[in-house]
Structure 1
């Protein structure tokens, strides 16, 4: 195991006292503490927030657009961290899957979206900020399961230096085919960061999921 699934930080309400939880996944070079700072922008105060931290602050070494095997065994270890976290929230804190929300930024968004596609079920919401499904162009994607009733938001710059807009739109199509309620927004000439409109959309989708 490259990444330690027990290397986590929390914010918001205590896990045992909350009715919903948001798993937040940091980007390359970021940290659990970094991504948890977004919790203060979530209007709903009933959330517990939990963030795993990657070994060396990077989930996998190369671009998410490289052949999958080039990012192994890091990618599989990173996906296993998210699986472990989801299982623990269900078993130890009795969260139902629709009470679990996902938010990732950059490399964390790519990892989160890939995990959700591979582990499709009804989640409370999935927010991929500056990210897309992992793998090289023209990869044949055959995910099993359904994301029916799951709101998914994909937000990204249309000129992001790391995330081609084509991958964001491809991810939108894949998630729609899996039954998710997808909102995708490309922001003209925006840098590789999170903007106020994206946080507004997250809050709208969280409010609509009540």
Structure 2
């Protein structure tokens, strides 16, 4: 599963200065998330978006016990890893590699980077948190070394509880990330212009 061809946009990967890995939400597509780049300060970036099989990275809620979402979750993380490897093969360093996801893609984004913490260019999670019925700190290692991470979400949100966002912020901070968390009252399950503005200034600026 999750073996569909990588979708790309922006600068050609062999000549790009930076890479942005973009992860779509449940029921959406790589093309959907790539379209968001028109609103981001990423003119010199290669844009890389893997496509989930049947538009779903894993079948159940991100709050389900992890074994319930296997083997899809492991395969989803491997798809992100292959995308990172493609950027590295083109000579783009981790410091010039960025991540962005929305909803299920935001959860997958945070889960991947927390399991492979290092100094990345930056991370944007629009409505997401770390995956599991609880947090499992033993799964996470490395040092973000000040990587800027922006997490924006609504309270309430139909899929992502604010308390999981807060717990994720704490764990990512403990791994050395510089996390900016914004929880908006009654925002809805969406991406707002204010979130895009913050992502541009905090991560892509």
TM-score (norm: length of structure 1): 0.94
- SS at structure 2 position matched to 1:154: strand
Cross-structure match for 1:172: 169
Provide closer, same or farther for how the CA distance between residues 207 and 28 of structure 1 changes in structure 2, counting only shifts above 3 A. closer
Q: Which residue, out of 113, 117, 138, partners 1:116?
A: 113
Q: Is 2:79 aligned against 1:66? A: no
Q: Which residue, out of 136, 141, 146, partners 2:137?
A: 141
Q: Is 2:152 aligned against 1:155? A: yes
- Paired with 1:22 and 1:194, the residues of 2 have a C-alpha distance of 18
Moved more, 36-45 or 107-116: 36-45
Cross-structure match for 2:87: 89
Cross-structure match for 2:35: 37
- Paired with 2:108 and 2:203, the residues of 1 have a C-alpha distance of 21
RMSD between aligned alpha carbons? 1.0
Cross-structure match for 1:130: 127
What is the Cα deviation at residue 48 of structure 1? 1.3
TM-score (norm: length of structure 2): 0.97
- Paired with 1:207 and 1:50, the residues of 2 have a C-alpha distance of 16
Cross-structure match for 1:181: 178
What is the Cα deviation at residue 43 of structure 1? 2.4
- Paired with 1:87 and 1:150, the residues of 2 have a C-alpha distance of 19
- Paired with 2:102 and 2:187, the residues of 1 have a C-alpha distance of 15
